[in-house]
Structure 1
Amino acid sequence: MKKILLVCSAGMSTSLLVTKMQAAAKEQGIEIGIEALPVAECSTVVDSVDIVLLGPQVRFQKSQVEKLVNGRIPVEVIDMRAYGTMNGKAILEDALIKIK
């Protein structure tokens, strides 16, 4: 099972997005683990996920997260439009493409 970590400043704004992404995965019959955490806590799980998606509001911390994963997995900033509209389906599809 693939695992996606969403990171934002407090872990709150991405919680709704996690729900939308899980619903999209269920519709498509995809088994996936999706979790949201604040940047300060992401180091606790980066070794067990397949991709880290940063909320647009923390894109400036991308290099910090990239150092944590040390090239093992992709670290991407979520498209601002998809994030703003909470388009879980589009964000999920984009993440799955980047994992492969």
Structure 2
Amino acid sequence: MEKKILLLCAAGMSTSLMVTKMLKAAEEKKIDVKIEACPIERFNEKLNEFDIFLLGPQVRFKQADLSKVAAECGKKVEVINMLDYGTMNGAKVLETALNALK
């Protein structure tokens, strides 16, 4: 079953590169995922479309507020590890997201 992961950040630019790295890692491991990135302002409109939401480190202060909203729909909001984000470690970020969904 396809897992749907959405990365949220201030503008959606730096996370776009992370999406590419994560998709490459998923392809190598033959994991069925849909991964996209968008600005954090679009969280509410995307809530029903994705299983988990990953926040870029620059918007981590929003986790508590978004988690409350997401929990009502049985969804999770996690913050991407700063080191993994800085090194664009798509495989590690993908693994973190999939583990959070278990």
Q: TM-score, normalised by structure 1?
A: 0.95
2: CA distance between counterparts of 1:13 and 1:65? 20
1: CA distance between counterparts of 2:66 and 2:14? 18
Structure 1 runs (4+) deviating above 2 angstroms are none
Q: What corresponds to 2:97 in structure 1? A: 95
1: CA distance between counterparts of 2:3 and 2:92? 17
Identical-residue share of aligned pairs (%): 52
Alignment of 1:3-82 (within 5 A): 3-71=4-72, 72-82=74-84
Q: Which amino acid aligns with 1:61?
A: K
2: CA distance between counterparts of 1:14 and 1:34? 11
2: CA distance between counterparts of 1:39 and 1:62? 11
Structure 1: give runs of 5+ residues left out of the alignment: none
Q: Which amino acid aligns with 1:44?
A: E
1: CA distance between counterparts of 2:29 and 2:64? 32
Q: Which amino acid aligns with 2:10?
A: S
How many residue pairs align between the two structures?
100
The 8 Å contact of residues 55 and 77 in structure 1, kept in 2 or not, is answered as yes
Give the root-mean-square deviation of aligned CA atoms.
Answer: 1.0
Per-residue CA deviation, residues 1-43 of structure 1 (Å, 9 max, x unaligned), is 1100100001111000000000000000011000101111121
SS of the residue 1:47 aligns to: coil
SS of the residue 2:11 aligns to: coil
Q: TM-score, normalised by structure 2?
A: 0.93
Structure 2: give runs of 5+ residues left out of the alignment: none
Q: What corresponds to 1:86 in structure 2? A: 88
